Amino acid sequence: MRIIIKEMDSSIIKKYFPHLNEAQLSQYEQLRPLYQEWNSKINLISRKDMDCFYEHHVLHSLAIAKYFDLLPGMKVMDIGTGGGFPGIPLAIMYPQTSFLLVDSIGKKIKVVQDVKEKLGLDNVTAVQERAEKINDKFDVITSRAVTQLPDFVKWCNNKLRITNDIEAGGVLYLKGGDIKEELDSVPKNWKRKKINISKWFSEPYFEEKYVIHLY
């Protein structure tokens, strides 16, 4: 017997973020067809993950918003953004926050630029560059499992406007699995906090996934 799994639509976003306005809900609804179109060209997201797009990519990205409120005027850099995660979902959530989405692979940045333009995300800038070459300061740096944490924090050196202040910002990193050894290997000058995403989202997918806050 064949089991058919129904794809969750964007209503899962409204379920956990009921305060969103109609314009934001419309932008989230437009994400899947935009990424489906690009996925047919450059294979950004696996078919299995595309079937669970809103849960595995959009909602996962928005775990950061459940943990930390990005304030108007803040500057955020999303390192290794790939097709725009977590940067694009966060930029929709926080239209008055400035986002720089960075990736070294040009075809991925081309996708981000197209999504930005079609959704009218004026608060997003996308650049093809290595993170360590970005010469600017940010309140928050985000990423989603782009590399090992000890290597990642090297890219963040001297790029945070404020350090050692849990309320001011820092690195907000999405990571899953057993990360104790990896987290223990982060230099001791970084304070750290690990929060299980299942604290906010009840889907089994999030049971061993975390927001890591380094500051």
**Residue pLDDT, tens place only, 40-64:** 999 888 878 899 999 999 999 999 9
Rg value, the chain, Cα: 17
Please list, in sequence order, all residues whose beta carbon lies within 8 angstroms of the beta carbon of residue 110, skipping any fewer than 6 positions away. none
Say yes or no to pLDDT of 27 above 90.
yes
Query: Where does the pLDDT of residue 199 fall: very low under 50, low under 70, confident under 90, or very high at 90 and above?
Result: very high
| E strand or H helix at 127 | strand 124-128
Digit-coded pLDDT (tens) for 89-103: 999 999 999 999 999
Residue type for position 188: K
- Taking each continuous run of H as one helix and of E as one strand, the counts in the chain are 9, 7
Say yes or no to pLDDT of 196 above 50.
yes
Q: Where are the domains of the chain?
A: 11-214
Contact 126, 119 (CB under 8 A): no
How many CA within 13 A on the CB side of residue 141?
28
Residue 5: per-residue pLDDT: 41
CB atoms within 10 A of CB 188: 7
Digit-coded pLDDT (tens) for 6-21: 456 899 999 999 999 9
Q: Give the separation between CA 79 and CA 191, rounded to whole angstroms.
A: 20
Please name which of 5, 7, 12, 11 lies closest in space to residue 203, comparing C-alpha atoms.
12
Please list, in sequence order, all residues whose beta carbon lies within 8 angstroms of the beta carbon of residue 142, skipping any fewer than 6 positions away. 64, 76, 77, 78, 79, 86, 87, 90, 171, 172, 173, 174
Query: Where does the pLDDT of residue 3 fall: very low under 50, low under 70, confident under 90, or very high at 90 and above?
Result: very low
Q: Give the separation between CA 13 and CA 37, rounded to whole angstroms.
A: 21
Which superfamily does CATH assign the domain made up of 11-214 to?
A: Vaccinia Virus protein VP39 (3.40.50.150)
Hey, is 64 helix, strand or coil?
Answer: helix
Residue 47: per-residue pLDDT: 78
Contact 49, 4 (CB under 8 A): no
Pairing of strands 170-176, 140-144: parallel
